[in-house]
Amino acid sequence: MNIVVCVKQVPDTESPRKLKSDDNTLDRAAADGVINELDEYAIEEALLLKEAHGGEVTVLTMGPDKATDSIRKALAMGADKAVHLVDDALAGSDALGTSYAIQQVLGRTGFDLVILGAESTDARTGMLAAMLAERLGVPQLSLANKVEIDGSSITVQRITDYGYDKVEASLPAVVSVVEKINEPRYPSFKGIMAAKKKPVEKLGVADAGIDADKVGLAGAATEVVDFADAPPREKGQIVTDEGDGGAKIAEFLASKKFV
Amino acid sequence: MPATRHLPTPESADLIALTREIAAKELTPRVDAAERTGTFPREVFATLGEAGLLSLPYPGRYGGGDQPYEVYLQVLEEIGAVWASVGVGVSVHALSCFPLLAFGTDEQRARWLPDMLSGTRLGAYCLSEAHAGSDPAAMRAKAVRDGDSYVLNGAKAWTTHGGEADFYTVMARTSDEGARGISCFHVPADTPGLEFDRPEDKMGLMGSTTATVRLVDARIPADHLIGQEGQGLSIALAGLDAGRLGIAAVATGLAQGALDAAVAYAREREAFGKPIIDHQGLAFVLADMDAAVESARATYLAAARLKDAGHPYGRHASIAKLVATDNAMKVTTDAVQVLGGAGYTRDFPVERYMREAKVMQIFEGTNQIQRLVISRHLARR
């Protein structure tokens, strides 16, 4: 089975994250880059599926040069090879442009299964899986917390507010995963050494057959028009219990739609 | 603030990143509770072993990582920065593997080393006795040859991992010829006659078990002798220099952890209308702490590079152990001072760091013994 995992390098959520004031895009140089957390679960799931069913796991990353750190980590965890789509023309791409660019690369690598995290911790649009499936013309199985493969059919448990749905489709397909799905492994030192010898193919926009007009900031269909710092957290509300404390708390929770 | 490191290869940089990730996700969440309750974290050593962190300085043919000490010690420092007990445990495990690696036969190495380096079998090192600490040649534990076996009797004190380890590297007397009458043995934990006293009730490093190991007619096959009969003390001495570097690295990590906690607090806490780090009196204390941590790191790395290049490094190892542990004592004490009353409570980790630093001036050769070693080198003509 040919499994492709889409891995995005994002600013470390532990470090301060900033937008650039000149073009309202993320300042990727300002913070340390790490693998988007949900993508680590996607990598782990791909490795588990490979261990159970055989095949090959390819890491696909679109991002600047320093995203190679994330690629090396994914390879050290056990992925077999990587494709790094890197080109200045891609900077500022929105979800639509990104899904188009990744579709073009997937056309080259081929795939039976594409796995990715359900959203990234930076842009948090959570739209890539759906856009990608639509562009590729294959089924999308979203928010999976369990994946099973039987021949050419795939079944996932899709988490919902009330439990889970069981969703079935035939391969090839796109699956997005949530953090309940597994426990990502650590790389090992042997994995780090092995990663040095694994192939990493670097592609530019032209190599991948991507129309440069459809990607990057200029090709984006959406625009961040303004941004502001998050307001400081407001003081909490203190409920004094005068015999009706329980009711007041229930009222508060209801007002926030928790109950 | 993570330590600034210049690493020799991209893979060693990845290795430090891996160590920091495991430290943050596996050690940090466990350390407070384990140190408070005196719980030995065996599962942590399994995790470190699986990640390959227990095998770094050993040859690849035995499952090791072929890494220079310069890299291995920085990994150890990162572990020590989060959990000193585990850092000490890793260093002691390395010390207990050393005699087999350096003096064992090919057959012995093939048989035991892979499980030791993968962390499947955790080691302990039995050299000291109650009356023979700084002077190991005064030891009394005996090993008597009996046909195809040795029968061991005696008590080995201050054994890190005593009662928890899977094997014990034991020095015992095979003849009365003083320093030349000592031999080294590989003693599996399930050997009948191996008994353990109640663990010591210590001032710090509560997550690291320390106990007296008693050998009561403990019988092991004769092929568990490592090296030659009578070679034991020179085997022990040969491992000491590397062990001292291990403790220097752990002490440096401990001091870095204390510095980080003190700086974080001093940026937050305000007095007289501004953060206390902006008051020069306190800022200079922090500057001195930083200088002490960086100079300790530079000192152990200088010794490690000598070792890696194959030069004699005994004097430098003693200097590194002396400087790093004395600095750690000073830095952790000052960290308590920076936090003031809060630092003296168990709500903050710095009082624990201070308790942990003290023993580093004592074990792996007291700092008085380090001065003795250094001065004897100077007196050689």
- pLDDT, mean over chain A: 92
Residue of B nearest to A196 (CA): B11
Whether B255 and B328 share a structural domain: yes
Of the candidates B102, B117, B132, which is a domain's last residue?
Answer: B117
Whether B46 and B162 share a structural domain: no
CATH of the domain at B278: 1.20.140.10
Query: Catalytic positions of B, please?
Result: 364
Residue A257 belongs to a domain: no
Give me the mean pLDDT over the A51-63 stretch: 96
Query: Consecutive 10-residue runs of chain B (381 residues): their mean pLDDT?
Result: 88 94 96 95 94 92 92 97 96 94 95 92 94 88 96 96 96 92 96 96 96 97 96 92 96 98 96 96 98 98 97 96 98 98 96 97 95 95 70
> In Å, how far is A73's CA from the nearest CA of chain B?
8
* Inter-chain CB proximity B11 and A192 less than 8 Å: yes
CATH of the domain at A119: 3.40.50.620
* CA distance linking residue A89 with residue B149, whole number of Å: 74
DSSP state letters, B7-20: -SSHHHHHHHHHHH
Of the candidates B86, B117, B148, which is a domain's last residue?
Answer: B117
Residue of A65, A186, A196, A198 to mutate when probing chain B, most B C-beta within 10 A = A186
Which residues on adjacent β-strands are paired with residue A149? A154
Residues of B whose CB is below 8 A from A187:
14, 18, 51
* Inter-chain CB proximity A196 and B10 less than 8 Å: yes
Residues of A whose CB is below 8 A from B51:
186-189
First CA to last CA distance, chain B: 45
* Inter-chain CB proximity B14 and A190 less than 8 Å: no
* Inter-chain CB proximity A192 and B55 less than 8 Å: no
Residue B2 belongs to a domain: no
- pLDDT per residue over A156-200, tens digit each? 999 998 999 999 999 999 999 999 999 999 999 999 999 999 999
Judged by a CB distance cut-off of 8 A, whether residue A189 touches chain B is yes
Q: How far is CA B46 from the centre of its chain?
A: 17
Residues of B whose CB is below 8 A from A196:
10-11
* CA distance linking residue B294 with residue B346, whole number of Å: 27
Whether B363 and B266 share a structural domain: yes
* Inter-chain CB proximity B17 and A193 less than 8 Å: no
Residues of B whose CB is below 8 A from A193:
11, 65
> In Å, how far is B19's CA from the nearest CA of chain A?
10
pTM over 0.90: no
Residue of A nearest to B56 (CA): A189
* Inter-chain CB proximity B21 and A186 less than 8 Å: yes
- pLDDT per residue over B27-80, tens digit each? 999 999 999 999 999 999 999 999 999 999 998 888 889 999 999 999 999 999
Q: Please state, in angstroms and as integers, the Cα–Cα distance from residue B311 to each residue in A89, B298, B303, following that order.
A: 52, 18, 9
Residue A240 belongs to a domain: no
> In Å, how far is B48's CA from the nearest CA of chain A?
9
**Cα-only R_g, chain A:** 21
Whether B151 and B213 share a structural domain: yes
Contacts A–B by Cβ distance under 8 A: 37
Residue of B nearest to A194 (CA): B11
> In Å, how far is A185's CA from the nearest CA of chain B?
10
* Inter-chain CB proximity B11 and A193 less than 8 Å: yes
**Domains in chain A: how many in total?**
1
Residue B5 belongs to a domain: no
Range of the structural domain that residue B108 is part of: 10-117
Q: What is the pLDDT of residue A235?
A: 82
**Domains in chain B: how many in total?**
3
* CA distance linking residue A208 with residue A229, whole number of Å: 37
Range of the structural domain that residue A203 is part of: 2-229
Q: Give the one of B10, B11, B18 whose C-beta lies nearest to A186's C-beta.
A: B18
Residues of A whose CB is below 8 A from B11:
192-193, 196
Give me the mean pLDDT over the A95-110 stretch: 95
Closest CA to A188 of B89, B123, B56: B56
Residue A249 belongs to a domain: no
Residue B31 belongs to a domain: yes
For residue A28, the surrounding DSSP H or E stretch is: none
Judged by a CB distance cut-off of 8 A, whether residue A15 touches chain B is no
* Inter-chain CB proximity B51 and A189 less than 8 Å: yes
Structure token digits, residue B312:
């004699």
Residue B271 belongs to a domain: yes
* CA distance linking residue B215 with residue B151, whole number of Å: 9
Whether B241 and B371 share a structural domain: yes
CATH of the domain at B38: 1.10.540.10
Residue B56 belongs to a domain: yes
Residue B307 belongs to a domain: yes
DSSP state letters, B74-95: HHHHHHHHH-HHHHHHHHHHHH
Whether B189 and B204 share a structural domain: yes
Residue with tokens 């308590």: B336
What share of residues in chain B are helix, strand, coil (percent, to 5)? 55, 15, 25
Q: What is the pLDDT of residue B252?
A: 98
Residue A87 belongs to a domain: yes
Whether B225 and B248 share a structural domain: no
Q: Give the one of B22, B56, B65 whose C-beta lies nearest to A186's C-beta.
A: B22
Whether B220 and B263 share a structural domain: no
Of the candidates B209, B231, B253, which is a domain's last residue?
Answer: B231
First CA to last CA distance, chain A: 45
Neighbours of B192 (CB within 10 A): 10
Closest CA to B205 of B161, B242, B259: B161
Interface of B with A (CB under 8 A): 10-11, 14-15, 17-18, 21-22, 47, 50-53, 55-56, 65
Residue B3 belongs to a domain: no
Residue B108 belongs to a domain: yes
Q: Which residues have C-beta within 8 Å of that of residue B281, sequence separation ≥ 6?
A: none
Whether B190 and B212 share a structural domain: yes
Residue of B nearest to A72 (CA): B14
Q: What angle do CA B244, B247, B251 make, to 5 degrees?
A: 140
CATH of the domain at B174: 2.40.110.10
* Inter-chain CB proximity A73 and B14 less than 8 Å: yes
Q: What is the pLDDT of residue B133?
A: 82
Identify which has the larger pLDDT, B223 or A14: B223
Q: How far is CA B229 from the centre of its chain?
A: 27
Whether B238 and B337 share a structural domain: yes
Q: Give the one of A72, A189, A195 whose C-beta lies nearest to B53's C-beta.
A: A189
